[in-house]
Amino acid sequence: MTLSARNRILLAAFVLSLVPIVVFILTAGDSFGGAQAASAAASSRSTGLVQTILGFLSTKSAYAPLVSITFALFFASASVVLLYYSFEKTQAPEVLFFALFSLSFVAESFRLAVPLAVAREWPPAFVVGAARALVFGRFFGLLSLFASSVYASGVDFQKHGRVILISAAASLAIATGVPVDGLAWDSALSPMPGYASMLDLVELALSLIACLSFLVAAKSRGAQEYAVAAAGCFLVCLGRDGLIRGDNWLALPVSATALVAGTWLLAVKVHRYYLWL
């Protein structure tokens, strides 16, 4: 993929990231209005590493997930802009896929389907559709992060578009293959798909492999920058876990800080490496 084509994709990603922000603004009244009832009707508390640890220290809030969604949407836009301007003239394949990972946070807007369905009395089929879109977005994001780390480790496969299509197809297969109950969601306002524990294990495996691949890149390239990028990747995965699963006010600042710090570390260190090539 040429540099100009990659930059056009990043610009398109930025424009796309603005759409859910507009939708959120237009539906904010009903989203916040239905949040209390949706939280009370949650089938269980959400799970996840950050949520499990901090959930003992803070009670759940009906509005914390909505603020997390808001942060996720603005993070997607801001990170794509950061990557575009930092690497506008630098051919770095891992940057394209990390940008797609960042863009995947716009899928968190589909969690709004739960409070909206409660507030507007929409049928469960609406929540089911949103749940599948949410699963697709989350797995596409993790597969993109995985691809970014693999490219960083030295894999030289120029058919970037084909990799994107394969990631999208795999994510679509997962999203359409799992059963979804339109009347069941957790305290983070995420609809609960079937085989949730298995999906969580796949997410964990992809996250760990991505972090390890950046460490491999540090050794294979002889660049300490990628070792720091691996730490950044770990923070990103930790922040992502807390942001999409947190249901309390303590998880939000911890997750947001980890996500922003990790993204900054990864972008800055990879940029520094390419400056010295």
| Mean pLDDT of the 173-183 span | 94
- Predicted confidence at residue 276, as pLDDT, reads 66
Q: Would residue 180 be called left, alpha or beta, if left means φ above 0 and alpha means ψ between -120 and 50 degrees?
A: beta
Interval 38-67: pLDDT, tens: 999 998 889 888 888 887 788 889 999 999
CATH number, domain of 194, equals: 1.20.1070
Least confident of 67-71, 82-86, 144-148, 186-190: 82-86
Percentage of residues of the chain with pLDDT beyond 90 = 74
Tell me the pTM. 0.93
Label residue 130 by pLDDT band (50, 70, 90): very high
d(CA 23, CA 39): 21
d(CA 25, CA 15): 16
Q: What angle do CA 202, 137, 103 make, to 5 degrees?
A: 115
d(CA 87, CA 69): 27
Q: Would residue 162 be called left, alpha or beta, if left means φ above 0 and alpha means ψ between -120 and 50 degrees?
A: alpha
Comparing CA positions, the residue from 155, 50, 171 lying closest to residue 101 is 171
- Predicted confidence at residue 223, as pLDDT, reads 80
d(CA 152, CA 134): 27
Comparing CA positions, the residue from 84, 75, 81 lying closest to residue 6 is 84
107 or 221, greater pLDDT: 107
Mean pLDDT of the chain: 92
Compute the radius of gyration of the chain from its Cα atoms: 18
Q: In 54-75, which positions are buried (b, 16+ CB within 10 angstroms) versus exposed (e)?
A: bbeeeebbbebbbebbbbbbeb
Number of domains in the chain: 1
By the 8 A CB rule, do 107 and 138 touch? yes
The owner of tokens 């807390």 is 242
> Whole domain around residue 139: which residue ranges?
3-275
| CB atoms closer than 10 angstroms to residue 175 | 20
- Predicted confidence at residue 121, as pLDDT, reads 92
By the 8 A CB rule, do 98 and 72 touch? no
Q: In 199-219, which positions are buried (b, 16+ CB within 10 angstroms) versus exposed (e)?
A: beeebeebbeebbebbbbbbe
> Is 116 a residue whose pLDDT tops 70?
yes
Q: What share of the chain is helix, strand, coil (3-state, %, to 5)?
A: 80, 5, 20
